[in-house]
Amino acid sequence: MNDPQKAAEQIAAAAKQNAAFYLTEIPPEIEPTRRLLEHSGIAPENVDAHIRKILIEQRDKAWAVFPYGAIGSFRFLDFNQTLQDPLFETVSKRLRAPGSAETFLDVGCCLGHIVRQLNAEGVPSERLYGTDLQASFLDLGYDLFRDRDSTRATFVAGDMIREEEPRLEELIGKIDIIYASAFFHLFEYEDQMKAGKRMVKFLRPENQNAIIFGHNGGPKIVGWEKYVLDEETWRHMWDEIGEATGTTWKTEMNVESNDEWIKVRFARGSTKIQNARDRLSKVAILIDRVTKKG
Ligand SMILES: C[S@@+](CC[C@H](N)C(=O)[O-])C[C@H]1O[C@@H](n2cnc3c(N)ncnc32)[C@H](O)[C@@H]1O
């Protein structure tokens, strides 16, 4: 953001809009983070104090950078939704398979909790990547997980929707699996498409089994449909991304929705489509990276 006044206005507007998400108490569902912190070497008896310190200092530092609902609600402490996604488990197994050299990138990784989770599950950190617009979120992640000097994971700050973004070039052609949680829905169609095109560029061209997955959703506030795309629009977007990148994508979507909320999981690129309909999912499936869809 080049215009400081405009940036300040956007931050103030987001703080107002997302005020309802701002929790003042530690949410109960933080077991995943508790386990991760223990894994990172914090003694179990010190974990709570560390978490409290984070809640008082770190979370508010992140909120001041940009008041995302995910920050206000400590979503980075509670990533049960990710852990409960069957595809996340599949991906973790795939990354841990003997001889696997595949890489994983979390786009809009925030503090990098998912990267640390996969590492704790046994994926070597050198095959893990995270990227976020906010370099300060990546820094907070190092503080939270106390691994600035020990992790070999790559964290890159960059803007996924900026046309020219030299900082992200190091990711081009290196990634096999991309995760994007609460990310696409930050943008309207055109910017979602830019992000999608950039993701395709990140994928290793020789891998026919690449995956892009994640979730979108949120409260049905005015205009939400522009952000949480419906099935037809999502498919259309991936057709356009395919045309622009010389790839072919097939999409599927399942939505959980009521009058107030919508939750969407979208998932997987693969040359084989199996049981995709069984999942609560919105699926972008990479069929063939070189042949355009007929
Ligand atoms: C709603 S948070 C979701 C964080 C995390 N993925 C999760 O599910 O808890 C959105 C994240 O996307 C990042 N972000 C926003 N715009 C971005 C952009 N243009 N490029 C890269 N990251 C961006 C934000 O900084 C923030 O960390």
pLDDT tens-digit profile of 11-35? 888 888 878 778 777 777 788 888 9
Cα 214 from Cα 173, distance rounded (Å): 20
pLDDT band, very low/low/confident/very high, at 198 (cuts 50, 70, 90)? very high
* Nearest by Cα to 163 from 238, 244, 228: 244
Taking the C-alpha atoms of residue 104 and residue 77, their distance in angstroms, rounded to an integer, is: 20
- Pocket test of ligand 1: the residue of 110, 179, 266 to mutate, having most ligand atoms within 8 Å of its CB, is 110
Nearest residue to 179 (alpha-carbon basis) of 121, 93, 105: 105
In percent, how much of the chain has pLDDT > 70? 88
Query: Which CA distances in Å does 192 have to 114, 149, 186, 264, 271?
Result: 21, 34, 8, 15, 23
- Ligand 1 atom with the smallest distance to the CA of 160 is 20
Q: What is the pLDDT of residue 55?
A: 64
Q: What are phi and psi of 227, to 5 degrees?
A: -105, -45
Count the residues in the chain. Answer: 294
Pocket test for ligand 1, best of 17, 66, 80, 133 (most atoms within 8 A of CB): 133
Residue 273 has pLDDT above 60, yes or no: no
Q: Where are the domains of the chain?
A: 4-72, 80-288
* Structure confidence by residue, pLDDT tens digits, 219-235: 788 888 899 998 889 88
Q: Tens digits of per-residue pLDDT, 247-258? A: 877 776 778 888
Q: What fold, for 80-288?
A: Rossmann fold (3.40.50)
> Is residue 131 within 8 Å of residue 168, measured between CB atoms?
yes
How far is residue 153's CA from residue 105's CA, in Å, rounded to a whole number? 10
Rounded-to-10 torsion of CA 41, 42, 44, 48: -150
Task: State the pTM of this model.
Answer: 0.85
Residue 156 has pLDDT above 50, yes or no: yes
CA-based nearest residue to 62, from 153, 167, 168, 135: 135
Contact call for residues 73 and 27 (beta carbons, < 8 A): yes
pLDDT at residue 85, rounded to an integer: 87
